[in-house]
């Protein structure tokens, strides 16, 4: 039997039109997920996913529930056709969809949490203007050293936020410090170093002021122990209990996304295939570079969902193709 891991994308994978072809192919998704999501949040989330505009969809407080909604709908299609993950993981925001897949969190509760998470994270930028930047072509240790040097020279915050793969690191912090880091990275030989179009300095110590309010929301939410292993990108280790999940989601706001280690752990568990569940195909590319011996398949549109179903149907007789 094929061992399949599901990975779920984070912010940056959104696009206008995401999920639209899923609902066209499987119309019941509209009443199962999309219309209830609109009612729960009091937002026209379905219309924003379908039609945009892109500027509104890029708002952190909109992006996060929109990506989660699309990921959960895609998850439903895969599981109804017999694809069951042996383990799951998510990149930042994607960890919430992974918890839904593992039976830890009801999708409605996950939707409420990521809506609040997005609002709180965006609010940080109103207090302390910040940004994020991607550095490509330098190893993690070098980027960590550059961050330390900029912090010392500027007295401002700049930290590694995402260890995405062996030669791709994302930094986060105060705007001036991140700009200085970009200059330093280019001088150090980075293939590319550029600011990212995101709404706040995610996964940095600048997020600490919103931890308390978000933790209160976590404590009001029902979590269950994982039914399948969840490899947390905060620790690159399995989450084993509901209590551990709550603590990890709290730490995730300020903590680094350890994606290279997470995918390495997935591969080390004997995984035969990775399926990226949700919009975009960023994680599929990262997974292929981190673990080239493990095929990775995106599901960002119906054609790729069908391809994944057909591929897995040939490898596992418990899976039925469309």
- Model pLDDT, residue 317: 47
Whether 257 and 112 map to the same domain: the answer is: yes
Paired tokens of 321: 């193709």
Whether 179 and 225 map to the same domain: the answer is: no
Active-site residue list: 92, 203
| 102 part of a folded domain | yes
Last residue of a domain, one of 141, 172, 199: 199
Last residue of a domain, one of 199, 217, 232: 199
CA distances 116 to 74, 215, 244, Å, are 23, 11, 20
Q: Cα separation of 290 and 163, whole Å?
A: 11
Domains in the chain, number: 2
Whether 170 and 311 map to the same domain: the answer is: no
The angle at the Cα of 187, spanning 182 to 188, to the nearest 5 degrees, equals 95
> pLDDT by residue (tens digit) across 8-50?
999 989 999 999 999 999 999 999 999 999 999 999 999 999 9
- Model pLDDT, residue 314: 65
315 versus 180: the higher-pLDDT residue is 180
Instruction: State how beta strands 158-165 and 168-174 pair.
Output: antiparallel
Last residue of a domain, one of 147, 165, 199: 199
Q: Cα separation of 18 and 52, whole Å?
A: 10
> Binning pLDDT at 50, 70 and 90, where does residue 279 land?
very high
CA distances 45 to 17, 18, 70, 111, 279, Å, are 12, 11, 10, 11, 15
- Model pLDDT, residue 222: 98
Q: What percent of the chain shows pLDDT beyond 70?
A: 97
- Model pLDDT, residue 250: 97
Cβ 275 vs Cβ 308: under 8 Å: yes
- Residue 208 is classified by DSSP as G
Whether 20 and 98 map to the same domain: the answer is: yes
Say whether pLDDT at 56 is over 80: yes
Whether 231 and 295 map to the same domain: the answer is: yes
Domain containing 192 equals 129-199
Whether 46 and 173 map to the same domain: the answer is: no
3-state secondary structure of 46: helix
């Amino acid at each position: 039997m094929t061992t399949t891991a599901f990975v779920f994308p984070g912010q940056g994978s959104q696009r206008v039109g995401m999920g639209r072809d899923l609902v066209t192919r499987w119309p019941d998704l509209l009443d199962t997920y999309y219309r209830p999501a609109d009612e729960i949040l009091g937002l026209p989330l379905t219309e924003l996913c379908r039609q945009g505009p892109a500027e509104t969809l890029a708002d952190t407080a909109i992006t996060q529930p929109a990506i989660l909604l699309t990921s959960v709908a895609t998850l439903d299609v895969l599981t109804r056709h017999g694809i069951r993950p042996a383990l799951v993981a998510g990149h930042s925001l994607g960890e919430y969809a992974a918890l839904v897949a593992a039976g830890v969190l009801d999708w409605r509760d996950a939707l409420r949490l990521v809506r609040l998470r997005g609002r709180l994270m965006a609010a940080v930028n109103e207090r302390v203007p910040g940004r994020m930047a991607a550095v490509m072509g330098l190893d993690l240790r070098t980027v960590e050293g550059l961050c330390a040097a900029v912090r010392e020279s500027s007295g401002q915050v700049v930290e590694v936020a995402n260890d995405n793969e062996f030669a791709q690191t994302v930094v986060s912090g105060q705007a001036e410090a991140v700009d200085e880091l970009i200059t330093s990275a280019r001088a150090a030989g980075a293939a590319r170093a550029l600011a990212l179009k995101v709404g706040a300095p995610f996964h940095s110590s600048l997020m600490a002021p919103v931890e308390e309010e978000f933790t209160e929301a976590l404590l009001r939410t029902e979590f269950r122990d994982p039914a399948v292993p969840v490899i947390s990108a905060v620790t690159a280790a399995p989450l084993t209990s509901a209590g551990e999940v709550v603590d990890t989601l709290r730490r995730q706001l300020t903590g680094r996304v350890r994606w290279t280690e997470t995918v390495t752990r997935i591969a080390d568990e004997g995984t035969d295939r990775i399926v990226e569940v949700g919009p975009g195909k960023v994680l599929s590319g990262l997974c292929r570079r981190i673990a080239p011996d493990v095929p990775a398949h995106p599901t960002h549109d119906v054609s790729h969902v069908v391809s994944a179903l057909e591929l897995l149907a040939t490898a596992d007789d418990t899976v039925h193709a469309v």
